[in-house]
Amino acid sequence: MKKLFTSAIGLTVFVVFCIPVFSFNVFAKSYQLNYANFPPASTFPCVQMERWKKEVEKRTNGAVKINTFPGGTLIGAKGMMDGVIAGQADIGNLCMAYQPGRFVITNAVSLPLNIRDSKTGSLVLLDLYNRLKPEAFSKVKVLAMFTTAPSNIMSKKPVKNLNDLKGMNLRASGGAAQILKIWGANQIGMPMSATPEALQKGVVQGLFSSVEVMKDFNFAEDCKYVTLTQTAVYPFAVVMNLSKWNKLPENLQKVMDDLVREQSEWTGNYMDNHVKEAMQYSKEKQGVEFITLAKTEHSKWNAKLAPVVDDWIVKAKAKNIDGDNIVKVLEELINKHKN
Ligand code: DTR
């Protein structure tokens, strides 16, 4: 009888204390995190956000639940970094080009250094960040970094030479904006999320960016011409509120740490493939003309860009930033990662 009684207690203890631990998972507590993003859900920053959410939830067996907020519903484009630092969202995705003076070191990735695709740009940016650990990110935990594919001119009117571009109102931000100005366009700065309205109202006659937006924002309906320049990638970061990060147990932090490089590279690959799809869609479904600059014309455009890197180094020096070293590191990383 006594034996039976002891076994019954043993079984009860097992059922009450052990089964929940085994059957849920090894993560004792669950966590909900809010993730803010500025553009609409169909665009690449949000596609990568949903992929990250899915992976984190899967790899933590649901111990971490990510609530995603696309379309600037939680924090807008320019307020992303400060919003995350202040805890308005736990995680946020930001485009560094929208605050060029704030992210001087990492924005250097948009200098005309011949980054040919988004995968290369993304790995270069992440390695640059890891190597130089810029102060601008000291108040957050970085969860991923990636760049767009190189920028091209999408416009309502054809641009075949520098004269066509002269005075044309085109939208761009950060390093890409500097390049447009040098080529003689009338550059207008605004986040991508404000561009559809500006195009429709005629405030701008086009934009300078990676061409997946021809499909994702359906700019192909307004912009029937794309001039292929293949310059300037835009850098992005996914950042997390530091005190929220510090409160996560180590095994959950490890899941996210293990994802940093994978997510950055995944996004680069997604973007590169999606650019191809968007080009096909624009040509076949929207009758968009893709313009390749004539050789002599192309040399003129490149000649204008020749002083950009040296000028940037001089300006960086004035801010006490070792621009020479940043460019050297960038060139080394581009060589390492290029396809
Ligand atoms: N090229 C930058 C960033 C960018 C490219 N595609 C998208 C889509 C959604 C938001 C931002 C971006 C820009 O032009 O803003």
Percentage, residues of the chain above pLDDT 70:
92
**Per-residue pLDDT at 270 exceeds 80:** yes
How many angstroms separate the CA atoms of 235 and 225, rounded? Answer: 25
Q: Which residue has the higher pLDDT, 100 or 322?
A: 322
State in Å: Cα 182 to ligand 1 middle: 21
Q: Are residues 114 and 53 in the same domain?
A: yes
Q: Are residues 73 and 118 in the same domain?
A: yes
Determine whether the shortest distance from the Cβ of 123 to ligand 1 is under 6 A. Answer: no
- pLDDT mean across residues, the chain: 93
Determine whether the shortest distance from the Cβ of 219 to ligand 1 is under 6 A. Answer: no
State in Å: Cα 209 to ligand 1 middle: 7
pLDDT at 7: 54
When divided into structural domains, the chain yields a total of 2
Per-residue model confidence as pLDDT tens digits over 303-329: 999 999 999 999 999 999 999 999 999
Determine whether the shortest distance from the Cβ of 234 to ligand 1 is under 6 A. Answer: yes
Give domain status of residue 335, yes or no: no
Mean pLDDT score, 185-201: 94
Which domain covers residue 261, as residue numbers? 22-148+234-274
Give domain status of residue 70, yes or no: yes
How many angstroms separate the CA atoms of 40 and 126, rounded? Answer: 24
pLDDT at 67: 98
Mean pLDDT score, 41-62: 98
Question: Atom 11 (ligand 1): residue with closest C-alpha?
Answer: 192
Per-residue model confidence as pLDDT tens digits over 228-255: 999 999 999 999 999 999 999 999 999 9
State in Å: Cα 317 to ligand 1 middle: 29
Q: Are residues 89 and 55 in the same domain?
A: yes
Q: Are residues 34 and 173 in the same domain?
A: no
Determine whether the shortest distance from the Cβ of 209 to ligand 1 is under 6 A. Answer: yes
pLDDT at 20: 41
> The domain that contains 60 carries what CATH number?
3.40.190.170
Per-residue model confidence as pLDDT tens digits over 276-307: 999 999 999 999 999 999 999 999 999 999 99
Q: Are residues 183 and 295 in the same domain?
A: yes
Nearest to 81 by CA among 106, 47, 48: 106
Question: Atom 12 (ligand 1): residue with closest C-alpha?
Answer: 192
Q: Are residues 206 and 289 in the same domain?
A: yes
Q: Are residues 260 and 227 in the same domain?
A: no
Determine whether the shortest distance from the Cβ of 177 to ligand 1 is under 6 A. Answer: no
Give domain status of residue 16, yes or no: no
pLDDT range class, residue 45, cuts 50, 70, 90: very high
Give the residue, out of 37, 42, 43, with the most ligand 1 atoms within 8 A of its beta carbon, to mutate for a pocket test.
Answer: 43
State in Å: Cα 304 to ligand 1 middle: 24
Q: Are residues 247 and 120 in the same domain?
A: yes
**Per-residue pLDDT at 14 exceeds 70:** no
Q: Are residues 47 and 124 in the same domain?
A: yes
How many angstroms separate the CA atoms of 168 and 146, rounded? Answer: 29
Q: Are residues 31 and 136 in the same domain?
A: yes
Q: Are residues 73 and 122 in the same domain?
A: yes
Q: Are residues 262 and 160 in the same domain?
A: no
Q: What does the buried/exposed string (b/e) look like for 178-187 if buried means 16 or more CB atoms within 10 Å of the residue's CB?
A: bbbebbebeb
Strands (E), the chain: 31-36, 64-69, 91-95, 140-147, 151-155, 169-171, 186-188, 206-209, 225-231, 235-241, 289-292
